[in-house]
Amino acid sequence: MSIEVIEHNGTRYAEIIWADTRVEKTRFFSPAESSFQFGLLAHEAGYQEAPHYHQEFERPVKDLQQMFVVQRGVVGVQLFDDDGHMLKEVIMNPGDAIVLIHGAHAIRVIEDMQCISVKQGPFMGDAFDKVLIEAKP
């Protein structure tokens, strides 16, 4: 299985599911208490899930996690600690997926890219939601 968890000083910054990852049955990689659940759905042919919905209830969410799935191209996802130091740059290719959990992030487009991006809403606009940091050496 090809997943990667990026941690620094005991804090989880990101989880990656590489495109070549295969599971036999559905598996989530995020801790159950995480506000964003990240995993793979897998079933054998013929499986039929019963019609259902997810029960509505208030879930307090203090963090804003974001997920990218690369559809085409190559992108470097840079992860920064709370002080603005780059921890790591992850090079992602089509089929790779990452959930950004903590810290700041930036992208560097290496080849023209398109990604699916998912994050919690509502979106209050760049002026409110995006906090720019100064990257440090």
| Domains within the chain, CATH numbers bracketed | 3-44+63-129 (2.60.120)
As a dihedral over the C-alpha atoms of residue 121, residue 126, residue 130, residue 136, rounded to 10 degrees, the angle is 150
The pTM is what?
0.87
Tell me the pLDDT tens digit for each residue of 81-91: 999 999 999 99
Share of the chain above pLDDT 70, in %: 99
User: What is the C-alpha separation between 72 and 66, in angstroms, rounded?
Assistant: 18
d(CA 109, CA 113): 7
Residue 114 has pLDDT above 90, yes or no: yes
Report d(CA 42, CA 51) in Å as an integer. Answer: 17
Per-residue pLDDT, 93: 97
pLDDT in tens, 94-105: 999 999 999 999
